[in-house]
Amino acid sequence: MSANSAFAEVGGLLAYGPSIQQLGRDAARYVAKILRGANAGDLPIEQPTKFELVINMKTAKRIGITVPQSLKVSADRLLE
């Protein structure tokens, strides 16, 4: 298990962590504020708000794990 969805994409069983795409958008928003003159030290620290669960079904099958339906339904992405 990993916090980065790329882990599951390359063969890991599952990944649960912040959305990399959303983190990039949030960082771009911060950069825009700084470029508009905001003091970086005055900007609040934010925590991720969007998390992704990615399950690699092919890996689960290879290692003989049956993924419960309730977990499949909760997943943001199922990799076949």
Confidence of residue 10 (pLDDT cuts 50, 70, 90): very high
Mean pLDDT of the 29-33 span: 95
Mean pLDDT of the 30-59 span: 94
Confidence of residue 46 (pLDDT cuts 50, 70, 90): confident
12 pLDDT above the threshold of 90 = yes
Burial class (CB in 10 A: 0-12, 13-18, 19+), 44: exposed
